[in-house]
Homo-oligomer: A and B are copies of this chain.
Amino acid sequence: MNTFGRAFRVTTFGESHGPALGVVIDGCPPGILLDFPEIQADLDRRRPGTSKWVSARKEADRVEWLSGLLDGRTLGTPIAGIVRTEDADPAAYDDLKDAYRPSHADFAFDAKYGLRAWAGGGRASARETVSRVAAGAVARQVLATLGPVEVVAWVDRVGDLASANVDPARVTAAGVDGSPVRCPDLAASAAFEARIAAARKAGDTVGGVIRAVARGVPAGLGEPVFDKLDADLAKAMISLPAAKGFESGSGYAGARLTGTQHNDAYVPDETAGIALATNRSGGIQGGISVGAPIEISVAFKPVATVFHDQETVDSHGRPTVLRMRGRHDPCVLPRAVPLVEAMMCLVLLDHWLRWRGQVGRPPPIPRETT
């Protein structure tokens, strides 16, 4: 289904070159004054054409809000927004009508539905994420009314280059956006930029890894078994286009350690009462937040659209050669940063509202325990 969340529910719709993309947000708390320029700023971060490293498609990505608002305040009823398609050029995709682009979803959609919106990837296009960013921007503002939650993501790795050196306790959105590739470690940023430039020059693309942190999340969010906070974050992140890997806290590196090396000790804390001496758990234990920063990573494969001849088949299984043209990023990572933040905000708010419904106590004071 095209809906995410249980209490704060987000439904998206739209195909890449259809009339519009859109989102319906249901279950939003009422009476919250939204800052629309701020929402637009989040959308602009995702938008193509905003830096030299992202594709040249020109879309203003302005959300037209259709419901659920009165004088800028949430009514508690569904908030719907649409973004019109402005710069569609389906003709550019004519030669893709029948050919299956390697590592795209063309063949998968035909196998499932028996037809597909072939222009620009249709529903499988990364353009769908404009709806997620709009919803995430609303969620971020609602979260801010509940507590001092900060969600920040950054590019941690591009291709085979070494990871950036970023401190999750201190990284800021301003620091991230100060880099053209959204990596606040400026040395790594420069290297990443060079790597992306080289890929573009070669008509090729590169993958990479994004890390994200949520600070100020109170202890107690998440559920014990299936709906663990990290399980819902995993689903949220792997649902992003091109995402191939997810880590919570220590992740794959943690699997190399012993229990003695890995355990996070609890220590008395003057302010919070109890704190964690380390945070290999990534702020989540047994699926429930513990008041320490939530830390995750997401791996993205390289963009499948390369500018070389590629052998493939058409829908009849006949061999053909495909040469992509048009507007495509050599590296999706910089633009994926706001996507990761948006999905993180959606998961956190959804669990906050679920927690409030079931438990009913006011939330504990957020505890920065590491």
Contacts and interface: CB of A to CB of B under 8 A. Distances in A.
A93 interface: no
Interface in A85-140: 100, 102-105, 107-109, 111-117, 122-124, 128
B77 A2 contact: yes
30 contacts: A1-B26, A1-B227, A2-B227, A6-B6, A11-B26, A12-B78, A15-B67, A15-B77, A22-B24, A30-B359, A70-B116, A75-B123, A77-B123, A103-B259, A107-B266, A109-B288, A111-B218, A124-B224, A159-B257, A199-B258, A231-B239, A244-B254, A246-B246, A249-B301, A255-B300, A259-B305, A262-B302, A268-B319, A274-B317, A280-B301
Interface in A187-235: 199, 202, 204-209, 218-228, 230-235
Interface in A10-51: 11-15, 18-22, 24, 26-31
Contacts of A269: 317
A-side interface size class: 35 or more
Given A2-B225, A159-B256, A358-B29, A14 B80 contact: yes
B111 A288 contact: yes
B318 A124 contact: no
Contact of A78 (B13, B231, B263): B13
A299 to B, nearest CB: 4
Copies of this chain present in the complex amount to 4
A153 interface: no
A102 B263 contact: yes
Nearest to A312: B266
Interface string A44-66: 00000000000000000000111
B256 A13 contact: no
Contacts of A254: 207, 244-245, 299, 301-302
Interface in A291-330: 291, 299-306, 308, 310-313, 317-319
Contact of A248 (B73, B75, B238, B312): B238
A250 B244 contact: yes
A76 B359 contact: yes
